[in-house]
A = this chain, B = another copy of it.
Amino acid sequence: MKVVELSGGVGGGRMARGLQAVPSIDLTVVVNVGDDEDIHGLHVSTDLDTVTYTLAGVEGPDGWGRVGDTFVFNDELTRFGVDNRFRLGDLDLALNLFRTQALAAGKSLSAVTAEIVNSFDIRANVVPATDDSLRTEVKVERDGWIRFQEYFVMRANQDEVEELRYTGSETAHPAPGVLDAIATADVIVIAPSNPPLSIWPILAIDEIRHAIRSHQRVVAISPLFGGKAMKGPAHRVMASLGLPAGNAGVMEAYTGVIDTLVVDNQDADDARRLDGVDVMVTDTRIRETARARELAEEILAR
């Protein structure tokens, strides 16, 4: 069975780990690159790395970075007055420097991602949505348009988001293999990621959006628990962009895209009011691989 997952970072990585644990599945994870950022001259791809580390079982305790990482390098930057609020661990730095060097040598992001994934014990394919530059930018009241990581990390996602744009999406093409994987997939799974911040940047690429829209089976997992994201600003961002509260907002975020919406048991009441999509209510807490795998099997069996 062939599965394509569209993924942001932490939630996407956990769902990918569950899907990867189902033996019969040929999994391709198509990952958001709108969060990619230049940090100290390094090409940092937060969502790609979170997915990779999570699939390898070496993710950090909060979902991002490497478990057991140290911050000797990052802390020392303070001496030189370098802004080090975007914390890069020493292990994580090795990956980021390897990627930066490979890109500088002319390799594509998808090619270097494949090399990185191969260096870990990972069965799934991990592919950036695009090898082209695509950057999520956030319009906030105080300063206008700012880059995603400035909003998310440096300002701890406290600003109200007035508008989003995905700079470069008009000219970006899907990375090699993405359209083939979608066309031949039995099911497309949209991860329980932040719809506007993590999934829309993938769907902002015309060819991917058309391929997903014309696919016969697209299942999204809601990132909400009791109407709120477990972590991160999904519900706040959706509200400020004018989407309805709760899973009605998730459904609207994916209008014309999904057939099935999976919502958590806590939102069973909310789910009863949804019209126009198949709604599946189950336990969507997937930090543990065992539960993530069960959820994957429930989705695929439906």
Residue interface bits A87-126, CB-to-B below 8 A is 1, else 0: 0001101110110110010000000000110010000000
- Select one of B72, B80, B95, B100 contacting A119, CB under 8 A: B80
Instruction: Tell me if A76 counts as interface (CB < 8 A to partner B).
Output: yes
Residue interface bits A52-83, CB-to-B below 8 A is 1, else 0: 00000000000000000110111011011110
- Select one of B80, B95, B101, B119 contacting A116, CB under 8 A: B80
Cα-based distance from A98 to B73 in the complex (angstroms): 11
Cα-based distance from A253 to B87 in the complex (angstroms): 49
Cα-based distance from A90 to B89 in the complex (angstroms): 10
User: Nearest chain-B residue to A71 (Cβ)?
Assistant: B90
Interface of A is mostly: helix
* Count of identical protomers in the assembly: 2
Instruction: Tell me if A23 counts as interface (CB < 8 A to partner B).
Output: no
* Tally of A interface residues using CB under 8 Å: 26
Known: A80-B119, A95-B80, A119-B79. A101 touches B40 (CB 8 A): yes
Cα-based distance from A82 to B101 in the complex (angstroms): 10
Contact indicator B90/A77 (Cβ below 8 Å): no
Using Cβ atoms and an 8 Å threshold, which residues of chain B touch A72? 69-70, 72, 90-91, 94
Using Cβ atoms and an 8 Å threshold, which residues of chain B touch A90? 70, 72-73, 76, 90
Using Cβ atoms and an 8 Å threshold, which residues of chain B touch A76? 90-91, 93-95
User: Nearest chain-B residue to A91 (Cβ)?
Assistant: B76
Using Cβ atoms and an 8 Å threshold, which residues of chain B touch A73? 73, 90-91, 93-94, 97
Contact indicator B119/A94 (Cβ below 8 Å): no
Rounded to whole Å, the gap between the CB of A19 and the closest CB of chain B is: 24
Cα-based distance from A73 to B41 in the complex (angstroms): 16
